[in-house]
Chain A
Amino acid sequence: AQSVTQLGSHVSVSEGALVLLRCNYSSSVPPYLFWYVQYPNQGLQLLLKYTTGATLVKGINGFEAEFKKSETSFHLTKPSAHMSDAAEYFCAVSDMKTSYDKVIFGPGTSLSVIP
Chain B
Amino acid sequence: DAGVIQSPRHEVTEMGQEVTLRCKPISGHDYLFWYRQTMMRGLELLIYFNNNVPIDDSGMPEDRFSAKMPNASFSTLKIQPSEPRDSAVYFCASSRDSEYTEAFFGQGTRLTVV
Q: Which residues of A contact B106 (CB under 8 A)?
A: 43
Q: Which residues of A contact B107 (CB under 8 A)?
A: 41-43
Interface majority SS (helix, strand, loop, mixed), chain B:
strand
Per a CB cutoff under 8 Å, which of A42, A49, A101, A106 touches B102? A49
Cβ–Cβ contact A101 & B105, under 8 A: no
Cβ–Cβ contact A100 & B95, under 8 A: yes
Q: Given A32-B100, A43-B4, A45-B105 in contact, is the A101-B56 Cβ separation under 8 Å?
A: yes
Q: For chain A, give the interface size range.
A: 20 to 34
Q: Quick one: closest B residue to A107, CB to CB?
A: B42
Cβ–Cβ contact B100 & A98, under 8 A: yes
- From residue 7 to 44 of chain B, which have CB atoms closer than 8 A to chain A? 31, 33, 42-43
For the A-B complex, the count of residue pairs with Cβ-Cβ distances under 8 Å equals: 54
Q: Which residues of B contact A43 (CB under 8 A)?
A: 4, 91, 93, 104-108
Q: Quick one: closest A residue to B105, CB to CB?
A: A43
Cβ–Cβ contact B91 & A97, under 8 A: no
- State whether the Cβ of A13 lies closer than 8 Å to any Cβ in chain B: no
Q: Quick one: closest B residue to A46, CB to CB?
A: B102
Q: Given A43-B106, A100-B48, A101-B48 in contact, is the A90-B43 Cβ separation under 8 Å?
A: yes
- From residue 65 to 115 of chain A, which have CB atoms closer than 8 A to chain B? 90, 94, 97-98, 100-101, 103, 105-108
Residues of B within 8 A of A (CB): 4, 31, 33, 42-43, 45, 48, 55-56, 58-59, 91, 93, 95, 98-100, 102-108
Which 7 residue pairs spanning A and B have beta carbons closest together? A43-B105, A46-B102, A105-B43, A101-B56, A44-B105, A107-B42, A97-B99
